[in-house]
Structure 1
Amino acid sequence: MFKKILVAVDGSKSSFKAMDKAIELQKLMDAEIYLICVYKHHSLFEASMSIERPERMDIPDKALSEYAKDIVNHAKEKAKEKGAVKVRGFVKAGRPSSVIVKFAQEKDVDLIVLGSRGTHSDKDGMLLGSVSHRVASKAKCPVLVV
């Protein structure tokens, strides 16, 4: 049923729970897992607002990109330790919900798996517009919020 499963990871416990659920599904369906970590791109204006002035203005994005790569690599290692096969990792910049939905469409993903915002109730998440709610409302494929 599911051949390509996209899991959004951000280093949180809930994102790793989502990954665990995707691994369970992979074992049942022989699916490929795509792990994605999306970091927010900082404009030059946002970078200039920093208390400390970096020598180069691309440093915030570079640091965030490296951190996102670390998260994806850590998630891939954990997934393989738990028996996952066919796991690929990706790092993208942008608004997380939009990037996740666009990536899912580009890769023809069958299922998106996301962690919920563990500290907010469903009602608060709707009011705050959490990533999981925005992805669920925009995605063209099924979305599983764990």
Structure 2
Amino acid sequence: MFKKILVAVDGSKSSFKAMDKAIELQKLMEAEIYLICVYKHHSLFEASMSIERPEGMDIPDKALSEYAKDVVNHAKGVAEEKGAVKVRGFVKAGRPSSVLVKFAEEKGVDLIVVGTRGTHSDKDGMLLGSVSHRVASKAKCPVLIV
């Protein structure tokens, strides 16, 4: 039924629970798992910072990109330890919900799996986290919120 499963990972317990569920589904359906970590892209203004940076200090995008790669590589290792096969990792910059939906469409993903965090930070995400809420409302494929 599902051949390509996209899992959003950000290093949180919630995202690892989502990955565990995707691994269970993979074992039932022999699907490929795409792990993706999306970091917020900083504008040139944000990246410039209004103070002089010490030598060797990375601009925010570079530092966040490296951290996101670490998150994906760690998640991939954990997934493989749990018996997952055909696992690919990706790192993208941008607004997480938009990037997840666009990536899913581009790759022909059959299912998006995201974790949820209880939040009351905005009216749209009273029960779901704002990213999971937006992905569920915008995705053209099924979304499993764990």
Q: Secondary structure at the match of 2:108?
A: coil
Distance 1:97 1:54 in 2: 33
Q: Aligned pairs, how many?
A: 146
Distance change in 2, residues 1:54/1:73 (3 Å): same
Distance change in 2, residues 1:50/1:11 (3 Å): farther
Distance 2:89 2:81 in 1: 15
> What RMSD over aligned residues (CA atoms) do the two structures have, in Å?
2.5
Question: Are the aligned partners of 1:14 and 1:118 in contact in 2 as well (CA < 8 Å)?
Answer: no
**TM-score (norm: length of structure 2):** 0.90
**TM-score (norm: length of structure 1):** 0.90
CA deviation map 1:62-115 (0-9, x unaligned): 000000000000000000000000000000000000000000000000000000
Query: How far off is 1:49 after superposition?
Result: 3.8
5+ residue gaps in structure 1?
none
Question: Are the aligned partners of 1:40 and 1:96 in contact in 2 as well (CA < 8 Å)?
Answer: yes
Query: How far off is 1:48 after superposition?
Result: 3.0
Distance 1:81 1:99 in 2: 27
Distance 2:142 2:80 in 1: 24
Query: How far off is 1:122 after superposition?
Result: 10
Q: Secondary structure at the match of 1:79?
A: helix
Question: Are the aligned partners of 1:117 and 1:125 in contact in 2 as well (CA < 8 Å)?
Answer: no
Question: Are the aligned partners of 1:3 and 1:110 in contact in 2 as well (CA < 8 Å)?
Answer: yes
Query: How far off is 1:126 after superposition?
Result: 4.1
Query: How far off is 1:57 after superposition?
Result: 9.4
CA deviation map 1:105-144 (0-9, x unaligned): 0000000000001455997724897000000000000000
5+ residue gaps in structure 2?
none
